[in-house]
Amino acid sequence: MKVTIREEKPKDKNEEKGTVTEKTVEAPSPAAGGTESAGPGEETRQEPALKVEEEAQKEALEQQLAGAQREAAENRDKYLRAVAELENFRRRTAREFADMSLRAGERILTALLDPADNLARALEAARKMEAEQAGDTLTSFIGGVEMIYQQLVSILEKEQVRPMETVGTVFDPNLHDALVAVERSDVPPNTVVEEVQRGYRLGDRVLRHAKVVVSRAPVAEEKPNENENTQ
């Protein structure tokens, strides 16, 4: 912006009035807001400072993001472990409850086996007596015992309790308890030849082992020495 300045010199003695001269000079222009604008050199000095500040903020944000991601991964692992532990607890509880119920049922059913065996023995003895001496009273008694026995057997069968067939089968320690071994030449060794106490199954499981008598091979008799007989 140019400004014109007028200068008036004082008059001399020989002049009637003074001399006026004009001079035009360049006036500085004010910056917006009443302050001077920064020059190109100052802007160049401010750019590195701004970049350093931006990099610091970016690094801080990246660290915060990494920390949040680690925390999220840890929380996910904790959640998965908690879900797995809960599922294992549920399965273990269900299995323990099923085993407990099964053991309770086995105890009740096992307690019924001895009465069933006693009734079977009583029926067998009564039938022998009936064969020896006939009578209406004895026949009625046998019929009553037979009815009770069949009711008990029906209860056991409904609970999937079945008696084992043992006589004539090969001895199996998983099914049988051998009380004694007897020499028998008419059957192979380790054959069940007599049932002392009946065994029972509960489904596929052994509820009570059968007590049995097992066969064994006869011991060969020693032949007398011919030389001793000659003497």
Q: Is the pLDDT of residue 224 over 60?
A: no
Range among 45-54, 95-104, 148-157, 187-196 with highest mean pLDDT value? 187-196
Query: What confidence category does residue 32 fall into, taking pLDDT thresholds of 50, 70 and 90?
Result: very low
pLDDT value at position 183? 93
Query: What confidence category does residue 96 fall into, taking pLDDT thresholds of 50, 70 and 90?
Result: confident
- Annotated domain spans of the chain: 162-220
Q: Hey, what CATH topology would domain 162-220 get?
A: Nucleotide Exchange Factor Grpe; Chain A, domain 2 (2.30.22)
Higher-pLDDT residue of 33 and 74 is: 74
Nearest to 159 by CA among 113, 99, 97: 113
Higher-pLDDT residue of 108 and 191 is: 191
Nearest to 207 by CA among 152, 157, 161: 161
Q: Is the pLDDT of residue 79 over 70?
A: yes
Q: Say how far apart CA 88 and CA 113 lie, in whole Å.
A: 37
Q: Is the pLDDT of residue 40 over 80?
A: no
User: What is the per-residue pLDDT across 120-153, written as a single tens digit (0 to 9) for each?
Assistant: 888 888 777 777 766 666 777 778 888 888 888 8
